[in-house]
Chains A and B, each alone.
Chain A
Amino acid sequence: MSPRLEDKLATFLLYILAALAVMFLMAIIFILLNAGIRVININFLISPPKAFQSGGGVGPQIANSFMILFLTLIFTVPIGMGAGIYLSEYAKENAITAVLRLSIETLSSLPSVIIGLFGLLVFVTTFGWGFSMISGAMTLTVLNLPLMTRITEEALRDVKRDLREASLALGATRWQTITRVVMVSAIPRLITGIILASGRIFGEAAALIFTAGMTSPKLTPDNFFNILRPAETLAVHIWKVNAEGLAPDARRIADGSSALLIIIIIAFNFLARSLTKKLYKRLTGA
């Protein structure tokens, strides 16, 4: 075959392959949404699950997912930002920094089931918090700390040197420069990062089955904010209804919950994109 013909053929095949890959991925989303959308209604969204009979909803699970997300962010965001600030603004290229980077890289590559077992060992058993919202949130904090650190470090590194130098030249301390100048101009990227991390936290299940638990009490105003109660999330629920098989309509529940998870995570993505654009416009006046 002449090289030219081979080139044409390869290009043609790559076009086909790209088209097929995208169609395949889109088909997966379509199948999942199509099966789930007809399940989702008000009753499904607010009523609690039922064992041994059909017609249950996922109301408490949705609430638990958001509560755990919120709790996790309370811990992850400040600590992750602190670590990111250190790596971007203070760290010198020395052995200590190398150890820091190695640890964070290691932590970010550990399987989530390992982090979940660590949570079981430390928060659930040693600290005696049991299967609870706080055990789950702390475990997810450990899981997402490296991500938040990287997001912050990269966002701060992108801020121009001029800004830092101008602020320092005006007599501001380093910390003032970081909090009032560098962080402020990195806000759009930080917000995007936090929202994308939220999507990951929202969909996590493996780290939660042994920490936040696989049950949820009937939610009342009294126990809603109790961080020591078990809090099964939406993602965990999808796994549990299939693993236990106690609900006769497990298929319906899993279909609805999966579609709901996808919709919420895609919504997070869009929110991140549009918010970044708006904030960027406001902060730069462009």
Chain B
Amino acid sequence: MKPKMMDKLGSFFAFFCALLSVLITIFILVFIFFKGIRTFTVDKISIFHFLFSANWNMENQNGQAGALAFLLGSISVSLLALLLSLPLSLGLSVFAAEISRKIGENFLQPVVEMFAGIPSVVYGWMGLSNLVPIIRKSFGGTGFSLLAGGIVLGIMIFPTITSISVDTLKALPRDLREASLALGATRWQTIKHVLLPAALPGILTGVVLGLARAFGEALAVQMVIGNSVRIPDSLINPVHTLTSILTMEMGNTTWGTLWNDALWSIALLLLMISLFFIGLIRFFAKRRVFR
């Protein structure tokens, strides 16, 4: 084939591949949207009931499709995960970027990267086999709990938040540090009053990415959280999340039933919350001054 012809074909192929990603994204949004609204259009459940009732009962004819318990479960387990991992992440990233870059680059960052690569079922199994028994012994109950889910997710989002915070801190210009030190500030004062505020938009990007990951994580959470439909009221009680109900019940339901439709509506809710997180990430990413 002539090089000119090949050149045209090549550029067309590259564009087609890029276009395919757009099409797939649109397909996902459209398909899940139309599948997810059937609860409201076909089964005539009100959106208000779906969002604000915790009554989820699919065993009998007049099914109740209230998803509030799952929504609150997802929110509380993700926030708990963030609460547990953010202080540690910040501390470790300040250490790796400001206190000792050598230890950071040669040791801490490779370790953190390795943890980002461990599959989520392995984290789930670690939680199920080690963490749940510890919680059972310490606090009573079954051990399957909001707390177990929060800890497992906290460990899982730790690498995400840490690596983005380290990158952001490292990208700050030297001038900032030098100006602050020249004014007589100690290293800690420089970190606290100059570097962390300057890195805030980047750190927030990492935080939202971590939250999004926690919110969308399915199997690891399902394995330790106990899967019981209830409004989260205590750290050591079992709860359900949007993702855990999907993984547990999607396989057992028949297409076209209210039960199945309601599960797709939960998928749609999860999708919309993920889109909200993506918007938030773009919002913070634009506000990053130093990269």
Contacts and interface: CB of A to CB of B under 8 A. Distances in A.
Interface string A84-116: 011101110000000110011111011111110
Contacts of A32: 122, 125-126
A106 B275 contact: yes
A41 to B, nearest CB: 20
What does DSSP make chain A's interface, helix, strand, loop or mixed? helix
Interface string A9-20: 011011101100
Contacts of A3: 185-186, 188-189
A49 interface: no
A162 interface: no
A194 interface: no
Given A18-B96, A109-B274, A239 B117 contact: no
A56 interface: no
B10 A22 contact: no
A63 interface: no
Given A21-B88, A31-B130, A174 B107 contact: no
A121 B31 contact: yes
A105 B91 CA distance: 29
A79 interface: yes
Contacts of B243: 111, 113, 206
A10 B188 contact: yes
B188 A6 contact: yes
Contact of A109 (B13, B187, B281): B281
Interface in A57-74: none
A114 B28 contact: yes
Contacts of A79: 17, 20
A179 B216 CA distance: 38
Interface string A121-132: 110010000000
A176 interface: yes
Contacts of B155: 28
A59 B94 CA distance: 45
A100 B10 contact: no
Given A109-B274, A178-B10, A145 B21 contact: yes
A4 interface: yes
Contacts of B246: 113, 117
B14 A89 contact: yes
A151 interface: no
Given A22-B108, A82-B13, A205 B25 contact: no
A107 B270 contact: no
Interface string B156-200: 000000000000000000000000000001111101000000000
A121 B35 contact: yes
Contacts of B4: 173
B71 interface: no
B130 A107 contact: no
B212 A118 contact: no
